[in-house]
Structure 1
Amino acid sequence: MNMTLDNYNSTEFIQSSSIIKQLNTHPIDTNNIDNVFNITSCIIITFMFSLIVIFSIFGNILVMWIILNNRRMRTITNCFLFNLSAADLLTIFQIIPNVYYVLQNDWIFGIAYCKFSQFFTSFNIAISVFTFIAISSDR
């Protein structure tokens, strides 16, 4: 597959990643890309991302709860970690529609949420990067 960045869409990018490429048992047919993954691959991918979502929600809420409920945990660094946990928690909610899109190759959430999702993903990455910069400069 010899492609330039101009015609390299997100579906082809995701399908070319190593784990997805191993799970993908069907060759990519650009005329009919409806059923890219077989049912076993869909179940494995859904299960793995479900575990990521569950553990991420639990872990980030736990970090936020500990920082809020313990007075001695309210330091500047921990405030930054709280901010990072909140940003990660918001990022987790972007996983569900994106995994559905990758598996079904169908965006059912509308054009407005599509644009919001793209912005929100970039915004959350920026929040995380700037939080790490703030933690580093505080040190």
Structure 2
Amino acid sequence: MDFFSEIGLSWHFIDYDYDYFTPTPSTTPATCTDALCVFLAIATAVIFFLGVAGNGLVIWMAGFKMKKSVNTTWYLSLAVSDFLFCSFLPISVAHLVKNDWVFGLFMCKFTSFILFLNMFSSVFLLVIISVDRCVVVMFPVWAQNKRTIRKAAAVVMLAWIIAAAFSSPSAVFRNIDIHYDIHKERNVCYNNYTSDQQHAAVVSCRFVFGFLIPYLIIIFCYIVIIQKLKGNQTAKFKKPFKIMTALVGAFFICWLPFHTFALMELNHHKYESILHTGMVIGATFASANSCLNPFLYVFMGKDIKKKCALVTKIENAFEEEDDPTIH
């Protein structure tokens, strides 16, 4: 999808989110020829292949191969969110190469919606996983009796509905207009905010509800879990915590630059010299997060079998979470 232009980045000019869009003549190349554009097109293609393959494998395992459990429900939903995002990345590659939005108004709005649906659903699911682990540690007997797959599915559905609601402004404010240059007329998919206040409200909402508040909840859960498990060094207890830490840490590292530069863009006159590079970094890191989780499962899983090690490690990462009891 057109992920990078969503944060105001165009490969040959900066089209800030808040601008009242006024098409102006340009002397920039009509196609992706500069080194930065080529690099990002290749990076996006790599993320697409890794994300679709890795998350597809997780969906197959958590959804069809493994026994259904509360934890496979969490990880299946995470994989579906990332798989959906990655599935639209070829549109980003095509847009980069052509430097022209040829996919129409609906896709302009829909791909932007999918981007933030992925962001909100992912962080909400990480909060759910953290709270769930906290409950398991603090109230093991209650968790064993009340923690069911049906309830988990209902919680996931609610998280997706809330994520969709928070993502809707990204579709509402998207529009298409024509940018004129010496080569040809180019269609541009951009954010059509009518005022700086609208732009600031949307960016602030994304940061507060899609990053700040979720991470405050996660940090609280971490403090509770660490205090409860202090002195308990068994591998059974450490494995779920390590997996949760890896997922939360990866999301934080990948999305922090995005939110940082999005907030800096609100005062673009002060930071204009670094915004272009910063947006590239933020967009690339955020996009890369969608393909990381399957590799984290493999890295954290035990190598208990020599053959089919990849599938075994992913399966083992999930199975480490399946027992809700703490003795």
The TM-score with structure 2 as length reference comes to 0.32
Higher relative contact order (CA 8 A, sep 6+): 2
* 2:9 match: 10
Aligned to 1:66: 61
- 2:84 is aligned, of 83, 90, 96, to 90
Query: What's the counterpart of residue 74 of structure 2?
Result: 80
2:53 equivalent to 1:54: no
Q: Shift in Å at residue 116 of structure 1?
A: 1.2
- Choose the corresponding residue for 1:127, options 121, 124, 141: 121
Cα distance, 1:47 vs structure 2: 3.5
Q: Which residue of 2 aligns with 1:33?
A: 28
From 110, 113, 122, the equivalent of 2:104 is: 110
Identity of aligned residues (%): 25
Question: d(CA) in 2 for partners of 1:115 and 1:102?
Answer: 17
SS in 1 for 2:88: helix
Q: Is the 8 A contact 1:33 1:105 kept in 2?
A: no
Give the 3-state SS of the residue equivalent to 1:135 in structure 2.
Answer: helix
Supply the distance in 1 between the matched residues of 2:8 and 2:66 (Cα, whole angstroms): 47
From 119, 132, 136, the equivalent of 2:130 is 136
Alpha-carbon distance in 2 for matches of 1:105, 1:89: 25
Counterpart contact for 1:60–1:88, Cα < 8 Å: yes
Q: Which has the higher helix share?
A: 1
Deviations 1:107-138 (A, max 9, x none): 00001110111112111211111111111110
Question: C-alpha displacement at 1:93, in angstroms?
Answer: 1.8
- Give the residue type in structure 2 aligned to 1:114: C
- CA shift, 1:42, in A, is 5.6
- State the superposition RMSD in angstroms: 2.7
Asked if the contact 2:74/2:129 (under 8 Å) is kept, the reply is yes
> Given residue 33 of structure 1, which amino acid in structure 2 is its aligned partner?
T
Q: Partner of 2:119: helix, strand, or coil?
A: helix
| TM-score, with length taken from structure 1 | 0.69
- Provide the rounded CA distance (Å) in 1 between the counterparts of 2:108 and 2:44: 20
User: 3-state SS of the aligned residue for 1:10?
Assistant: coil
SS across alignment from 1:62:
helix
Larger Rg: 2
For structure 1, list consecutive stretches of 5 or more residues without a partner in the other structure: 1-7, 14-29
83-92 or 94-103, which moves further after superposition?
94-103
1:77–1:138 Cα contact (<8 Å) kept: no
